[in-house]
Amino acid sequence: MTEEQFWQIVTRGSAQQSSQECIARLSAQLQTLNDEELTAFDKMLGQQLRRSYLWSVWGAAYVITGCDSEHMFTEFQCFLLSLGQDVYEDVIVNPDNLAKLEQWPLKDDYPYPFIEDFDLIAGQIFEDRTGDELPFVPAGTHSPAGKKFNNKPKFLRKAYPQLAAAFPF
């Protein structure tokens, strides 16, 4: 599995694609992989999730949605992956650049940048096929890298000026 193949698989088909459509698309594409490719995909997915396991990215998620749990943050990271390599790399460097997104998935008229279970699909397919779990790959650190964001509005407006303007609190 090359990095290019990985990004082709995880990138959503269109900006309007719902979370459920992203999951269905990912699942269909992963079904075509053999077990070795599925294992390689899962390893690359874990590596990318570790790269964005940053307090600065979590702070952006907090500004947009009030994201306040590890589970929600993982679903946010999966949403970021679905936006493709260019956006993902840009957000890792400067999470405030998320304000440039023109369309956001909505739930009850609020931004909902989460994809549930996106990170579990490869493992489920592998287990269904083989009866075994994918090889365990350590997740890395127990807390995000970098300095924890301050959730006081004054700090958030300073740290994420574009997002604070787009998602006033």
Q: Is the pLDDT of residue 139 over 80?
A: no
pLDDT in tens, 78-97: 999 999 999 999 999 999 99
Q: Is residue 146 within 8 Å of residue 54, measured between CB atoms?
A: yes
Q: Which two tokens stand for residue 114?
A: 């989460």
Q: How many CA atoms lie within 13 A of 67 on its CB side?
A: 24
33 contacts: CB under 8 Å, gap ≥ 6: 1, 41
Q: What is the rounded CA–CA span in Å between residue 21 and residue 77?
A: 17
User: Which of the four pLDDT bands, split at 50, 70 and 90, describes residue 45?
Assistant: very high
Q: Is the pLDDT of residue 141 over 80?
A: no
Q: Is residue 157 within 8 Å of residue 67, measured between CB atoms?
A: no
- Tell me the DSSP string of 42-59: HHHHHHHHHHT-BHHHHH
Mean pLDDT of the chain: 93
User: Which of the four pLDDT bands, split at 50, 70 and 90, describes residue 47?
Assistant: very high
Q: Is the pLDDT of residue 16 over 80?
A: no
Q: Is residue 22 within 8 Å of residue 115, measured between CB atoms?
A: yes
Question: For the whole model, what pTM was predicted?
Answer: 0.94
Residue with the bigger pLDDT between 104 and 137: it is 104
The DSSP secondary-structure symbol of 34 reads -
Sole residue written with tokens 């995880």 = 10
